[in-house]
Every structure is written in C-alpha cells, then in structure tokens.
Structure 1
C-alpha cells in the first residue's frame, strides 16, 4: 500500500472535498469529476489509492464509505441488479451530474469502461468490467470487482456535496412490496421510440424503484402484441392508442377487454417517402397510386394518414393501397419497392434518412400537435387479478414518461434505449428523434424540440377522436364500428377504456401537474375537433371531402 491507514485515506478525502470558497481565484473546478478542487489534486489523490483492490475495499470499509452490510447484500444479487442498486440508488442521490454519470455506467460494458476510465484512468474500469463480462469468475473475484467498482463510482461524487463527509449509506426507504400480487413481470414492446418510457424503465431503474422486477420483451409486430395479450402470455403491453378501443369493442378480433392506463408519447411519427419520388410530392393529392405502409390497421398512423390523404381528394380505400407493415420491416420494404411511402413511428423515419433510402415529407406534429400515439395497456382480466401490481407498474411508467418529457434527459435516454436488447439502432439516429435536431433527407437540418414528446395524460378527447375515425373509415368493412360506438356512446366508450382519473391520481402522487379536465378541443391541421360532437365532426368531414 502507498499509504498506511484508513485515517490517512480519510484525511486525503477531506482535503479533496474542500469548499468552493477556499479555492483561489485562479483555481478551476476539477475537469475529471467537476468537483470543487483542482484537477491536479484529484489526480494526486488517486495516485495514493491502494493498487490492490482488496486493500482498497478494506480501507473504504474502514472509512465508512462502503459498508460491510452492503458487501453482504451484494451476495444476493446478480450483475444487472447490482448495477441498478449500487449505481442508481447508492450514488445518484438527486444530483443531475451524478445521475448522468451513473446512468452512463449502466450501459453496455463499453459504456462502463468509458465512464470509469474518464473518472479514474484505465485501471479503474478493469476491476468492474470483468465482473459483468466474465461469468466464469470465482465468487471472490466477482465480489471483489463489484465492490471496488461501486466504491470507485462513489468516489466519483467527491465534488458533488461540497462537504467533508463521504457519502453515507443509502437512505432511500425500501419500497413496500408486501401488497403486490406479483413482482416478476414481463412487458411486451415494439422497438420504436414511442415506447421510450416502457423501455427505459428497465435500464434506468423506474420499475425497480416501485418494487418491480420487470423485464421488457421485444415483440415482432402489433398483431403479435394483440394475440399475445388475448392469450395472456405477458403481463402488460405497449399498445397503439386505438388498440384498446378496437380490442374491447371486437373490431378486428374477438372482443377482449383492455384498458389504456397511460399515454406513452405524443407526436413522434412522420410520413416518409422513398427517394425515387423526390421532387414529385408536395401535398396529399400527389400520393395517388402509392402503396403505403402503416404499422397496424388500428393505429394512429393509419387514421392520421387517411385524414391527410382525404384532404387532397384521395380516397384511402380506392386511390392508394394502405397495408400493415411491422415497423422494423419498413425500410427493407421501401428499398425493395414494395411500398412507396409509409407513416411509421420513429426511429424508422429518421433511419430511412440515415440510410439515404427516403426523405421525411411531414412529421405528424404538423397534422395534429400533441396527438397521442402509443400507450401502456393491460387486460381487464390481469388488472382485476393484480390491482396493486397494476397500480405500481402504471405509476412507474407515468414517472418515466414525466422524466422523458424533460428535453435535458433525452440524450441520456437515447443512449439507454439504443442498444441491441431494445431498439438496436445507431444512437445518433435515436438522439436525432428524441432531441428534435435532425436532417429531413431533403438537405434541411431542422430543430423541432417536440418532434416527439411525452405526456402520460390520456385525454378523453383523444378517445373520442379515435372512435370518430373508426366510425368514419369502417376498417372492418362491415359497419360494426358505425353501429357499436354510437350505440354505446362516444363518452361511454372512452371513459370505460381510457383510465384518465387513475393517470391523474398517480401523476399527482409523483408531483406532476396533470390537468383536471378530461376533455379539450383538439386543433388539427385542417379542422377543429369538438369532443362533445364526434358524430357531427364525422359528417362534416364526409360532406367536405366526400369520404
């Protein structure tokens, strides 16, 4: 050891954590950790740390930086759980700078290496990284490396508090899971940016915070999501906003009760056109004869596309072909010439630009600012069997949606959800979508911060507009929507499926400020929707455009 006792280590720790007022006017904040000490002091401090990991752990335990009970607790967790427990809870402590570091450490092994190396040099990452990469490590090696990794990251917060005391034991109250019917959950999702709150809640710890051991499961298509829901194969789902209405009413499938618990995203879609049509598309009338892809018949994508085309005199059922295409297949089908354009969720619009396959004709925010797209949903049967778990799960997602709504968190989220297990997309593509700083494929660089946005509140006016368009377009071709929805009543359908009051209650518990109203007038590109008169709105559209 370079120094002989934990007392000397503590003295160095205290000296390093000097108050900002004690810095000279010429001294800058540490460029390694951002702390209130010079970079040279940080470097010199780290040079005095023990070179043997076990010695380091022993000293840190003696100092009180790392507790014996924490080492014992680590024996009961795996690497994934420990990353979240030690980094998100132990070190974040509400400091945005720390949280950015910790969330970076919870990425793939390369991210861990980079973050640790940035703080402490190349050797630091080695101790932690082999514990998550090498499943063949002995138990002693595994525990040593995990403990040292956690201790090193704890030290990374050396400049955050300004006081002389090292970080104390985690004082976060454990979540009481005694009333939860089940805690091990599987949640289906489609790999699109609309699902950001559902996806990010796993790697960023929102599920765990609410006492849930939830795993997100990638699904191949919306048809598979619907069928899996009916079969009871997963616990809850990422669904398109119209799906719970369609499924509950038996449109497109046997009737199966589903509740829309909260909205995942607003905006966030686009009409993308193959590059072979560049220069020929200026408005909806120019799409005559096209073959379009949409992710699912009962989707906002299909309804918004039909809304737009009709304003140009295009009958969506006669003058063009609209067919379901799983979002991950959309670019390949465009390249093959099977489709000319699509209205899809991102990142596949931006990915088409990235691959120089297509250009963005219009983002859907232009068609309807603040329109809903995707949602968190669960079946009536599952909710009835697991009411407390459902509430905790919905609350976790409402909180994650609120977190995603802050533009300051978007780069971080892009990094978290881009990896192979989730979106499997280039981070720069996902970041372009989430930040709204993007190229449109026509030579323009645009800045639209709310290209996609996140708001969990399920307005009942959303439900009424969706129902009005299901009636207008008769997607089954048997007139069932036109019969069932008016018969039951637009408000009754919406309020029976969209859990607006629960979403408000959970948001308020989380300190968010949801609206008190459940209806609002919706301003679209070509008209205004009064949720009190959906039938009149449909008739007005038919009278004006002929379809």
Structure 2
C-alpha cells in the first residue's frame, strides 16, 4: 500500500487513515462488511477469537482489560446487559443471579469448574429453552471480549447519558439545586446532609425557593442547575403551558402519595364527601400540580364543577396554614406536612389522604433543562443517581425517624419535628380525635412511570390546562419522562426497578389504561358529566 507523506508533520498516512474502523474490527465501509464476514464463524465466541487471531484488535487494546478489576468488568457487563436488554433477557440474568445466590456467585459459577451444573440448574428453574439460553451465554461472552475494544475509545467524548459517570469525568461538580420546603423534597434535601451528593462526586448547594412560579422562572433563566418540581411541571414548561416554551426533562420522581386534604375545623360536622365542598374556597400550590389535578378529580366525582362550584386558589404551601388560621381558606390540598401542621396548630383536620384517591400516585420530581443536560451529561447522570440513592434510603421505614429530624432543621423544612415524624412514620392524629397508622402515607419510589405522564396529560386536557392539539400522549411521555435512564441508574445502585414503562393505574373512582388516554377522558366525561 502506497504511503502518502505529509511534509509538515512527517507523519505517514495510509488509506486506512481515512477510513473508519468497522465494529467488527476491520477497516472497510459498512456496505463491504458482508464481503469481509463471508466465511467467518457465525458463533459469536468463535468469531471474536478469530478476529483476535487475525490481529484486528491491537495488542495494546487487549491489554487494557488488565487495568480493570474483575469486579469492575462484571459490573459493567451486568449494567450494559440489563440496561439495554429486553424483558426476557433481563429475566434470564435475574434467574442466573438468583440461582447462584448473588452476582459474585453467579460469575464464579458461570466461569468456574461447575458451570455446566449451574447452567442446568438455572434452566430447570427458568422458563427459557436451552437453545435460547446458550445463545445468550455466547452473546454475553462476546460482549466481555469486545469490551476491550470499546475501552480503546474511552478517552474520547463521553457525552452520552448512558455512560457511567465517576468523579473524574464530571463536567461540573459545584451545583445549585432549588427546592420548595416540603416533605416531598426529601430525597433532594437529605442527599446533602447524609452525603449522597458527595458519594457521587458532587458539591451541592440547596436553594430554598418561595413558590413554584419562582422555581419555574429560575429554571428558565438558568439560575439553577437542577430543581425540585411538581411532576406535571416539566410537561407544562416544555409545552409552553402558562409560560414560555422551555424543554425540561423529568429525571426521577421524588415521592409518591404524601398529600392530604385538610379542612378548617369549623367545618368538621359538614364535610363527609366531595359534594359537601360546594361553595368553599380551597387552595392548591400551583395550577400544574398533582394537587390541583387530584382535587379536581375528587370534586368531580361528587358532581361538582371545580371551575364554578368552588373557588380554587393558588397559595404557596408555606402560607397555607396561616391563611386557614386567618379564615381565608376553608380547605387545602397540600403536601402532608402542612395538612399535619393544621392539625398540630389546632385549626384543621385531615379529611383525606391522597393515597386514598390514588395509591402510588406521583407528586414531586427532580428535573433539569434539556439544555443543561446536553451540556453536562455526566454531571446530570451523577446527580440523578445520587437522588435515586437518597430516595432508596428515605423509603426504608427504619430511616424515617432520622429523616424527620434532619428535615426539621431551619435550613431545610423548618417544621416541628413532631409534625414530620407523623408524616414520615404514618402514625398520626387526624384532628378529629383519631390516631391513625398508615405506614405508606408517603413513599419515595423514584421510578418515573410513563403512565404517570399520560394520566397527567389527560387531566390537563380535561380541565382546559392543555389544548387538545398538544396532547400527543405517547410523545410527551417518551420525550419528557426519563424512565430508561432512571431504570439504568437504579440497576447500577443494585436496586430492582421495574422493566415496564407503563402500567394500568387504579384510582378510587376509575381505572386508567395508558394505552388509550383519549378513551379514558371520554369515559370520565360520561361518568361524571364534567
């Protein structure tokens, strides 16, 4: 092959210098790949072995594998396999790990002297046929071998959200994250004092915000790196509902359940159900909030039109108790720490937990702008991972007492610890002389089901908060709720997130099928006449 001299650099070029290396290891165009592969082994393991023997992988590339411990390689393999695998592939991996008694044991069994027995045991316990299983084993072995080739380019740009972040490759480590001082913000808040941000290489300053409009405006202005938002807000801001259009991604859910309808004590003998709220003034924290949508859902079930039969006011959560005490509010649907605070202050009672309207409903979320994510992909990955890590800690019942104590501090929620203990443990007084025990009054499952996005979008349409022509339910869920990434990060943390992206959601008065939100809206209109 004739070399082309470069008189300036004295570097020698060949034709291969102007061609891209194919994923198979050779230099040729994609169109010519079939010619190169003709006659090559079809078995992935044999194929990789032949490619190595033919010198398609440089010796220095293969030696890179020595820089990684077996544990690191195993972790990378499982992450890649599970993050991108189909549900049945994920199941077989889980079957292997379960059969062996753990991840380390699974690898020892798979590549040790008793591998055959291990495989046979797994096959007997699994629904998959032996041929399918062995194909997956061969493919896995090929991925292990090819990992060295992928590492060859690891010093180049690592801008993909799908790559693993470490403190060494973060674009930014000092972050400002905005939050509203409510119990829903627990994962965002506790990740600072309990060290979850630091664990993932970040130094986070938490910025306490006065209301949700301020969060939205600070987000659009670029004054914050990431933020605590209500789960409908990324949809609203991305579509320009009530604000300028500004693409925002919902990275993870902060809390499920965790809200309540509190009623002024003077109405204790009047309120039995939704119809009894007619003529009242009721507060919610923001138009684009689960609080507003769930309140409207509840009132409509009692035959009330939320836009004409009651007066719904927007009130910042920290002001809700004071306004009820001053007689300005008859009721509010707010985060649980304010419903419980009304009981604590002796001015109200808890009429209903939102858990009883929709058990497992989303409330708040962690979010960042698409622009910021694109500029800081590894940092975004790290901070989302830290919050998912913190959420798992918060969700454990044995940690709730500690969490209530941390949240009560002035720099965070600045609420009586007694109030927060009642919310976090679910052991609480309802203001009517009853002590209730509801351990899942609030939960911290960070998984952003795309069915959440579809239900929210349907209700925004229902209450004229979103034009029907903007209601592309599938596209909204796909583009705004980052379900795949949340699943991948949870798996990296050793958690077991769902494989599915949507589920049928069972509410108190109906059932939502995410496959047909438009039909659900029509059913609601016919059933409740509003």
Query: TM-score normalized by structure 1?
Result: 0.66
- For residue 488 of structure 2, what is the aligned residue in structure 1? 505
- For residue 469 of structure 2, what is the aligned residue in structure 1? 483
- The 2-side partners of 1:307 and 1:188 are apart by 29
- The 1-side partners of 2:336 and 2:436 are apart by 16
Aligned pair 1:220/2:203, yes or no?
no
| 1:417 shift after superposition | 1.2
3-state DSSP of counterpart to 2:206: strand
Whether the 8 Å CA contact 2:166–2:382 is kept in 1: the answer is no
What whole-Å deviation, never above 9, does each CA across 1:324-347 have from its counterpart, x for those lacking one? 100000001111111110000121
- For residue 271 of structure 1, what is the aligned residue in structure 2? 261
Question: Which of 506, 511, 526 is equivalent to 1:528?
Answer: 511
3-state DSSP of counterpart to 1:365: helix
- For residue 442 of structure 1, what is the aligned residue in structure 2? 432
**Structure 2 matches for 1:235-384, cutoff 5 A?**
235-384=225-374
- The 2-side partners of 1:228 and 1:357 are apart by 34
- For residue 422 of structure 1, what is the aligned residue in structure 2? 412
Question: Which of 376, 398, 407 is equivalent to 1:386?
Answer: 376
What whole-Å deviation, never above 9, does each CA across 1:193-216 have from its counterpart, x for those lacking one? 000000000111000000000011
- For residue 517 of structure 1, what is the aligned residue in structure 2? 500
| 1:430 shift after superposition | 0.5
| 1:176 shift after superposition | 4.3
Aligned pair 1:399/2:389, yes or no?
yes
- The 2-side partners of 1:176 and 1:292 are apart by 47
- The 1-side partners of 2:510 and 2:370 are apart by 35
What whole-Å deviation, never above 9, does each CA across 1:249-305 have from its counterpart, x for those lacking one? 111111110000000000000000001111100000000001110000000000000
| 1:483 shift after superposition | 1.7
- For residue 192 of structure 1, what is the aligned residue in structure 2? 182
Whether the 8 Å CA contact 1:258–1:379 is kept in 2: the answer is yes
What whole-Å deviation, never above 9, does each CA across 1:123-147 have from its counterpart, x for those lacking one? xxxxxxxxxxxxxxxxxxxxxxxxx
- The 2-side partners of 1:406 and 1:215 are apart by 25
Structure 1 residues 500, 176: closer, same or farther in 2, change over 3 A?
Answer: closer
Whether the 8 Å CA contact 1:470–1:482 is kept in 2: the answer is no
Whether the 8 Å CA contact 1:204–1:416 is kept in 2: the answer is no
What whole-Å deviation, never above 9, does each CA across 1:449-479 have from its counterpart, x for those lacking one? 000001010001100000000010013xxxx
- 1 or 2 for the larger relative contact order (CA 8 Å, sep ≥6)? 2
- For residue 478 of structure 2, what is the aligned residue in structure 1? 495
RMSD value over aligned CA atoms? 0.8
What whole-Å deviation, never above 9, does each CA across 1:421-452 have from its counterpart, x for those lacking one? 00001111101100000000011100000000
- For residue 131 of structure 1, what is the aligned residue in structure 2? none
| 1:481 shift after superposition | 2.5
Whether the 8 Å CA contact 2:425–2:439 is kept in 1: the answer is yes
3-state DSSP of counterpart to 2:356: coil
- The 2-side partners of 1:385 and 1:337 are apart by 48
- The 2-side partners of 1:361 and 1:176 are apart by 47
- For residue 441 of structure 2, what is the aligned residue in structure 1? 451
The list of structure 1 runs, each at least 4 consecutive aligned residues, that deviate by more than 3 angstroms after superposition, is none
What whole-Å deviation, never above 9, does each CA across 1:361-408 have from its counterpart, x for those lacking one? 000000000000000000111111111100000000000001111111
**Structure 2 matches for 1:3-152, cutoff 5 A?**
none
- For residue 172 of structure 2, what is the aligned residue in structure 1? 182
3-state DSSP of counterpart to 2:241: coil
What whole-Å deviation, never above 9, does each CA across 1:503-534 have from its counterpart, x for those lacking one? 00000000110000001000000000000010
3-state DSSP of counterpart to 2:168: coil
Query: TM-score normalized by structure 2?
Result: 0.69
3-state DSSP of counterpart to 1:271: strand
Aligned pair 1:462/2:444, yes or no?
no
3-state DSSP of counterpart to 1:376: strand
